[in-house]
Homo-oligomer: A and B are copies of this chain.
Amino acid sequence: MSDLDAIFAALADETRRSILAMLLEDDMAVTDVAEPFEMSLAAVSKHLVILTKAGLISQEKRGRVKWCKLRPEAMREAVTWIESFGEIEGIDLDAFEAFLQAEGLAKA
C-alpha cells in the first residue's frame, strides 16, 4: 500500500477525522481519545493504529499512559497530490510559502 493509499484510507472515516480534529487541540491519552465515542476502547485503539501506520499521528508511551500526537506533516503528501487538481494549477510553492510568511500564517 502506498503512503497515499494509507493516508487517504485513514481519512475516509468520520471517527478518525474526529480524532485528528481532537488532537489538533492538544495531545491526548488513548483513554481520553476514546471517551467521546460510543464504541469500545479496543475499537478506538484500532483506529489509532491505522492513523499511526498512515503517519498521521505518533504514539509515545510514558508510564502506563500512551500519548497520541498529531503529525500534520504526513498530510503534506496528500495535499500535494490533491492540489494538482482543483482551481489551483501549477502553483508556485515558493511564492506560496513566502505569502504564508508574510501573512504570518506559517507555523513556527
Contacts and interface: CB of A to CB of B under 8 A. Distances in A.
The copy count of this chain in the complex is: 2
Interface stretch (A30-38, A41-49, A60-68, A83-91): A83-91
Interface residues of A, number: 41
Interface in A6-27: 7-9, 11-14, 17, 20-21, 24
A2 interface: yes
A85 B70 contact: yes
Nearest to A92: B103
Interface in A87-108: 87-92, 95-96, 99-100, 103, 105-107
A85 B24 contact: yes
A4 interface: yes
